[in-house]
Structure 1
Amino acid sequence: MPHDAAEGAPRSPASPQVRVAWGVLAALLLIWLVFETAKYGGWVIVAALAGVVVPDLSFLAGLTGPHEHGRMPRRAVPLYNLLHRPVVAVVVMLACLVPDSSDIAVPLFNLGLAWLVHIAADRALGFGLRAADGRLR
């Protein structure tokens, strides 16, 4: 995908229908997340806020060193791709089913739920996984 620095960051070539589907999913998950955080409060709110931020912590791995505009540094790509896979967030949500995790079950579930909201919103906005060279796939 050619990219001109004046255009801004390139976006995913996903079809408009796919992006709308991701947007609808993001909206539904966000409604569920708001309901859960309002219901439980306390550490659940902290976990939800962390879940929204966690996937983008991978950018910290690429803060130093040269890279082109619109391209993530190569060393940050594997972590970014791992943290932006829905299956990882679902595994975090399912971890609340581990026996003897009752104290952290609800915050852990909401961490994963917020993480899924982040991923779905990214995909709806056209930000998907990265290729090995740091460009959007």
Structure 2
Amino acid sequence: MTSPTRHKTARSSASGPVRGAWALLAVFLLAWTVLEMVNHSGATIPLGIVGFIAPDLTLFVGPAGPHEPGQLPRDKVAAYNLVHRPIVPVLGLVVVPFLPGDGPGANVGLFTFALGWLVHIASDRAFGYGLRTADGWQR
């Protein structure tokens, strides 16, 4: 098992410019999410907020196995990594506009959910949080 002191010093091995690019993307996506929420109101507001919060709900799913501070229990790593990969909400952004509905704004709530989800992932990467190893430590 890896020593926990090694993992306490750094959150991410990503360089400053990479984290800066993630930060710029997060700001752009946040502005877009807020624009969608303001333009369409109604269900888009809670769906955008839930999309932003939802990825971290995997931390509360299932029992917490043995782990050290800063380490995610091993049984939660797969779910955490799945919802923290940008491909999933990006696919949502591509597919949702083509779903059947009454007019072009029919699925805007789901679109805003995917935007909020992507804001979460981009923010995590900007702050140095990324996917976890099989042992539950930050990569």
Instruction: Decide: shared fold, TM above 0.5.
Output: yes
Q: Classify 1:33/1:127 alpha carbon distance in 2 versus 1 (closer, same or farther; 3 Å).
A: same
1:78-89 matches, cutoff 5 A: 78-89=78-89
1:10-29 matches, cutoff 5 A: 10-29=10-29
RMSD: 2.2
Contact 2:65–2:75 (CA<8 Å) still a contact in 1?
A: no
Q: Distance in 1 between matches of 2:40 and 2:86?
A: 24
Q: CA deviation at 1:106?
A: 0.2
Contact 1:61–1:75 (CA<8 Å) still a contact in 2?
A: no
Structure 2 match to 1:115:
117
* Alignment length (residue pairs): 136
Task: Calculate percent identity across the aligned residue pairs.
Answer: 43
What 5-or-longer segments of structure 1 have no aligned partner?
A: none
Structure 2 match to 1:91:
91
What 5-or-longer segments of structure 2 have no aligned partner?
A: none
Q: Distance in 2 between matches of 1:9 and 1:57?
A: 25
Contact 1:74–1:134 (CA<8 Å) still a contact in 2?
A: yes
Deviations along 1:65-110, one digit per CA (max 9) or x if unpaired, are 3211111001100100000011101122233234424475100000
Deviations along 1:50-69, one digit per CA (max 9) or x if unpaired, are 10111101101365232111
1:1-137 matches, cutoff 5 A: 3-4=4-5, 10-61=10-61, 64-102=64-102, 104-137=106-139
Q: Distance in 1 between matches of 2:35 and 2:97?
A: 20
Q: Distance in 2 between matches of 1:39 and 1:121?
A: 23
- Residue 4 of structure 1 aligns to a residue whose secondary structure is helix
Q: Classify 1:99/1:49 alpha carbon distance in 2 versus 1 (closer, same or farther; 3 Å).
A: closer
- Residue 131 of structure 2 aligns to a residue whose secondary structure is coil
